[in-house]
Structure 1
């Protein structure tokens, strides 16, 4: 992967995006918890959080992060930008540990490290992006049979999740809400890529908004984002933030890179060694996420056994009627 000025700009924007998005998870979670005390929780279908300023602060942070991410796709290939979302896992997990008291076990920390190592492997071996000079070129890629089939499969899966699995397993299985966000997210990124290219070319003097294709991509981004926001709120209000972030990241990354591979045929210019290295990166990320998921409650259990303000020596003493957990 050549280090061009565009790639550097894309990397800086992607890292900034991850910091804002990782922080937004925490702020929105606090807003959702506060709103839940005043009305119906988001996880139960309520929308009280729309009246909570703290939730909107988190939403603004996420919007800023998404704008930075949006701009990054205009400069760098999706297969380079998307894996950098792993940084948001670290940000949200660390903040959740200190701000939300969702304790992260040492194996959870190891899971985060594995996610970062896998992402680095992917970034270092990312393929070169095809040169795009018009939104019409992106539209041509998007209307190829392969990507049309992919889009239909994604929409069918989302419909099945929403109408069949959400009522039954939405509140007990994290994968349902996060799956909807991730599947729709892959279509969002492809459309965001088109919009980013359109803006970049327009600012350079070639107006792309005279083409109807640009507005179609804009509509797709709007609809997909609304779906993602709605179901991400439900996931945040129902499950542990430190687990949502990595699971969402891994699923989103896999589907986004798969969509990019089908749409832009990114890996045609790569040799077997590069492809195998990227696959190893994916496996490393999946291993980290699995470890994080399996140990998600170990930190909280340890915290219950040994309260934060109680010393190990004090824990050996007999309990008294006024002693207890300092939560």
Structure 2
């Protein structure tokens, strides 16, 4: 009995000692864990702070890239506008020259060509920094600059009232275009990614872009059929063809410029086949785009072409940038709406600027019968003979003196007879064979 009680007391003391040891271990663990938390607390807070500040730094760098791209685009379009006006001035100085290529010998024309190349280089470089949807609408800068240069170097002398009434639409258009440009730059898309070969291939095979390409090809074939086969040569049809090609040109230009920039930074991208595919597509679409623009300029006024082409090309390019490069990924609805509002204001400004330009009448040579003494009237009510020389459409920079002899107005050399009174001359006329009607 005593032995059993001693055994029980032994195990009771043992359990109490084990309980004390366990409690001590728990207290020690709690103390160590609390000390570790105190020691690692600032590090964890610093790590959380750095993780929260990294997006802000990336956002700052992306806005910086947007600013660089926008400034390059504005600089490029401004230089292009100055270059075109310099070349136009060279052509005007040589108006009436018999040598149709005499402008090649002038320093002014070559200076304009160098400025044009510099401007194109600036616009090309801007695509490597900023999103496509931000760069394309900035082509309104060239329209604004051309309008301002035209007003400053105007030859006519107007009274202040007439001047303001004549150019009030241009002033309003320039103001609206500048406001729209500022708004779309401020609220433009802010998505940035490296233009590597893998990223471009990934965008190229995405279902959104494949669906967009399918719709674009169908629309292009539809328009081309009506333009070529049905002879539907409305200005909207031709410029829609230009806009569809221009959207692909913008996509390929950004890909090529971005891959060149990444290669300059050290990650060589020129070994990817997609770079050369994009380069060939860029050149091909640009050539066909220029061809359709040339055909449109032969049929319609240049101011009408400038406004409609800017609106359609910008809309198609923004759509292509949103589907291929996902320019508006992560943007909120307010920024997207304000960006579109800036585009609409710029569209209205460009329309008003081009609306105010004078329309040049095409020169059509004719011979007035009333100015030919001694020649009987061939028509009862006809006042002139219109030679069947086809359609004459001359640019503002071309001179009518450069026409060949075949396409010149019909001239009737007058030969005075030596005999007879001086007050009754008799004239004989020789009409060249190529100007005879029958």
TM-score range relative to shorter protein: 0.7 to 0.9
The range that moved more, 13-22 or 49-58, is 49-58
Q: Give secondary structure in 2 for the equivalent of 1:275.
A: helix
The more displaced of 282-291 and 8-17 is 282-291
Residue among 261, 275, 298 paired with 2:322: 261
Between 224-233 and 283-292, the greater mean CA deviation after superposition: 283-292
| SS across alignment from 1:267 | coil
Return the offset for 1:117.
1.7
CA distance in 2, matches of 1:100, 1:152: 48
What is the CA–CA distance in structure 1 between the aligned matches of 2:238 and 2:87, rounded to whole Å?
Answer: 16
Please tell me the root mean square deviation across aligned C-alpha atoms, in Å: 3.8
Match of 2:427 in 1: none
**Residues 137 and 343, structure 2, Cα contact 8 Å, conserved in 1:** no
> 1:14-39: per-residue Cα shift (whole Å, max 9, x none)?
1121113334554677899999999x
SS at match of 1:273: helix
User: How far did 1:218 drift?
Assistant: 0.6
Contact 1:33–1:237, Cα closer than 8 Å, also in 2: no
Contact kept? 2:196, 2:269, Cα under 8 Å: yes
Q: Which residue of 2 aligns with 1:153?
A: 215
Structure 2 spans left out of the alignment, 5+ residues: 1-58, 157-162, 362-438
Higher alpha-carbon deviation: 18-27 or 194-203: 18-27
1:10 to 69, 72, 84: 69
Rounded to whole Å, the distance in 2 between the matches of 1:153 and 1:33 is: 45
**Matched residue, 1:91:** 145
Q: Deviations over 1:202-223 (max 9, x none)?
A: 1112111111111110111010
Q: Are 1:65 and 2:119 counterparts?
A: yes
Aligned 8 A contact 2:220 2:244 in 1: yes
TM-score, length of structure 2 as denominator length: 0.56
Pairing 1:135–2:189 present: no
Which consecutive unaligned segments of at least 5 residues does structure 1 have? 39-48, 302-327
Which position in structure 2 is the counterpart of 1:81?
A: 135
* Structure 2 Cα separation of the partners of residues 8 and 186 of structure 1: 23
- Paired positions, count: 289
8 A Cα contact 2:195 2:259, kept in partner = no
Question: Counterparts of 2:269 and 2:124 in 1: how far apart (Å)?
Answer: 17
User: Is 1:200 equivalent to 2:261 in the alignment?
Assistant: yes
Aligned mates of 1:79, 1:176 — CA distance in 2: 23
Q: What pairs up with 1:89-238 in 2 under 5 angstroms? A: 89-96=143-150, 105-132=167-194, 134-165=196-227, 168=231, 170=233, 173-236=234-297, 238=299
Distance 1:178 1:15 in 2: 24
* Alpha-carbon distance in 1 for matches of 2:113, 2:306: 16
Q: Give per-residue Cα distances to partners, 1:76-123, cap 9 Å, x unaligned.
A: 222222222211111223345567989974213322322222222111
The alpha-carbon distance between structure 1 residues 228 and 109, as it changes in their structure 2 partners (threshold 3 A), is farther
Aligned to 2:313: 252
Cα offsets for 1:260-296 (capped at 9, x unmatched): 1111222231112112212222322333344445554
Larger Rg over CA atoms = 2
Q: What SS class does the counterpart of residue 329 from structure 2 fall into?
A: helix
TM-score normalized with structure 1 length: 0.72
Q: Does the 8 A contact of 2:306 with 2:354 survive in 1?
A: no
**CA separation of 1:250 and 1:130: change in aligned 2, threshold 3 A:** same
Equivalent residue for 1:275?
Answer: 336
- More helix as a share of residues: 1
Structure 2: distance between partners of 1:293 and 1:163? 30
